[in-house]
Amino acid sequence: MLGTNPKLADTDHDGLNDGREIRLGSDPLAADSDGDGLSDGDEIKYGADPNVVDTDADGYTDRDEVVEGHDPANPKDRIYKGHWPYYFDKETIKGGKIAPGGAEVGKRVGRFQLKDQHGDNVDLFDFYNAGKPVLIDYSGVWCFWCNVMASWLADDGTYSAYYEGWDDEFPGLREGVANGDIYFVTILNGDLTGANPATKKDATEWADKYDSPMIPVLADKDASSIDYMHQAGWPALQYLDKDLKIKVSSPDDWTLAAYAASAALE
């Protein structure tokens, strides 16, 4: 092939000889033909296609899946079962301390890493720069109005008498969550009794009760989010920019963040 080095079996030193690359259709002059961050040789090693960024079409690049210990050729073995976003360079993001009272407008949201309804440990920093605003919902299983809000988002009618008029109050918000125009993340910081932190079981039951596949439901097993938010009301919401900086934080009146999120969708 034009440009390859006749003195080398593997011109681009990617672990695949030039002849095999030509047969595969990959570039013998580029160590990473598809530009996904994984060399062509490693793509073959892990059963992936060196010409396709996401071999199994599960929403995560081959490089990201390999780094996180998943099979890039198996769509059932993905980084997040719920298809939540993933940000490879999240360790470079500054801020994110989870300290009492740390939820302040203008600061980056606390970097919670909590187990979701599928049993995956979800890192909030994976939502960084994913191209959409984020609404964080701090709720408790025991909380009546938390259940009302979840029922409204699911549009299941269970508490319809209590959220009559919410569509007009928060125009486009429910549809925006359902359509994926805004990320909505629920953090449960209390169980059904209100006396204990939430567990993965609580998160799973909540997600099953309010069938909203677009919403990660996370269990705060230490209930540290309550102190972080200075939470005095349930639910409490934060509205975040795409870089996860807090634009609105409402520990007492969750409607403030809901209004802001609605405005962002206009």
Q: What is the pLDDT of residues 91-130, one digit of tens each?
A: 999 999 999 999 999 999 999 999 999 999 999 999 999 9
Any domain includes 84: no
Neighbours of 23 (CB within 10 A): 10
Mean of the per-residue pLDDT values for the chain? 93
Give the structural domain span for 167. Answer: 92-264
pLDDT of residue 23: 81
What is the spatial distance between Cα 3 and Cα 229, in angstroms, rounded to a whole number?
Answer: 59
Q: Are residues 153 and 48 in the same domain?
A: no
Q: Are residues 105 and 175 in the same domain?
A: yes
Any domain includes 111: yes
Place of tokens 């030193």: 13
- In CATH, what number is assigned to the domain containing residue 151? 3.40.30.10
pLDDT of residue 4: 65
- Walk along the chain (266 residues) in steps of 10 and give the mean pLDDT of each run: 61 71 76 87 90 96 97 98 97 96 97 98 96 96 98 96 96 95 97 97 98 96 97 97 96 96 91
pLDDT of residue 138: 98
Q: How far is CA 202 from CA 79, 136, 139, 217, in A?
A: 22, 18, 12, 9
Q: Are residues 31 and 100 in the same domain?
A: no
pLDDT of residue 128: 97
Contacts of 20 (CB under 8 A, 6+ apart): none
pLDDT of residue 65: 97
pLDDT of residue 189: 97
pLDDT of residue 262: 95
